Amino acid sequence: MYLEHFGLTEPPFKITPVTEFFFSGANRGEILDALIYAITDSEGIIKISGEVGSGKTMLCRMLLDRLPTNIKAIYLPNPSLSREELLYAIADGLELDLEGQRVSVLLQNLHTHLVAKHNQGERCVVLVDEAHAMPLDTLEELRLLYNLQVGKHKLIQIVLFGQPELDEKLEQTNMRQLKDRIVHHFNMQPLSKKVIEAYLMFRMRAAGYHGPDIFSPAAIALISKASNGLMRRVNILADKSLLAAFVQNTHNIEARHVQAAIRDSELTVGKHWVSSRHAAIAGGATLLAIILAGTGWMLGKTNSSQTTQEVVAPVAAIQPAPPLPAATVKPAPPGITAKISSARPPASIDAAADQSRTSASATLLQQRQAATKTMLAKIGKGSFSIQLFYTEDTRPARLERFLIRAQSIGKLSEIYIVPITINGKDRYRVLYGAYANSEAALAGMKDLPQRYKDAFAPTLHELDAY
């Protein structure tokens, strides 16, 4: 109804997952990259948890689109399967006609087929959506399937997508063997207000909109509060807000339009989302510590020729600047591991840009990298930090300005800088604080400066792997 009014080619806020509308901000893009890596080059069962409407199914659909051709993905949208039905569903996904066979024969045929695929350089992965609703016996059957192997190589991988209830189910005593085989944990955290601002305009532009930002700060704040940062709720409220603005023949979305959308959606502003979110964050703190360890990321001595790379949006967001362009927002990937070495800094150093730095700002960067090295040398087992963001911009002045601002609010001593490389690109990880364990880090997240909470999507980051 409102498409022509806003110059749209299609509805921007569908709640049905459409991969063209995948938003890579708020760690979604980094989790997707890490999932692909874990499936193609690693072992261990993988778990992705998040509240209803946090984007798990969209992530699952993106996986189906992005996995290499040598990986056969079997998508199970209905988890309410018995053990036998699960085996038949996997057989159907592998295009095997095994209907009516006894379970023992079915398992043997599956094993034979998977071995043949392995010998051809192919792998199989089972993606279970809504895994929290899967019967315990069926979850146990998944564990037994994961045990299938040839030589030292697993023949099948398992990816579980579920609500926080999945974590509770896995805590049961009879699920401990399955839980022990879950190596990679990912948590779909709610969107912050800053990220919602970028998300709204990203969806608008993906639907063909070419005008200026249309959501007022008050409207964004109200959507953020009423949705609790859950993507599905954001979509519902944004869609109804557009309709309300269309009815009033205006192109600007104001708080009154969102209020009308809230009333129509029967949502209560200020009603807190109750979940095991903190427990899920703690469980996901190691989400890439094993996946990407050993890829040669280095922490070296910084010299005057080093530059930094940063995401334009998060650093810019710390300043009292205008709203960020949606396309630039890319919050930090949680827990990607770096290795320490005395190797040279990233190869993409721009010497000309380096000359523009002042000696004072260069000293801040050198100081924090030296402090990082000292901190990492002293940490004990089970230590954590809080990751604020990682950098992509090659201009050194951007990170220097961030450090100057951190110094101005008395938080410079809490900032640590780690050079990393992701997918062949040199970047820097920016951490806040060093804590003895995940519980202390979770408490530290509550005490983060408000500007950091608003600008970034802070996540726990395990320090042990350094």
pLDDT value, residue 239: 96
CA dihedral 117, 118, 121, 122 (to 10 degrees): 50
Q: Which residues of the chain have pLDDT under 50?
A: 270-361
Distance CA 401, CA 249 (A): 43
Tens-place pLDDT, residues 261-285: 999 887 655 444 333 333 333 333 3
Tens-place pLDDT, residues 413-438: 999 998 877 556 677 888 999 998 87
pLDDT value, residue 399: 82
Task: Assess contact for 254 and 219: CB atoms under 8 A.
Answer: yes
pLDDT value, residue 102: 82
Predicted model pTM: 0.59
pLDDT value, residue 134: 93
* Residue-range domains of the chain with CATH: 3-19+191-265 (1.10.8.60), 27-188 (3.40.50.300), 293-462 (no CATH)
pLDDT value, residue 138: 93
- Helices 136-146 and 83-93 cross at an angle (nearest 10°) of 50
pLDDT value, residue 294: 33
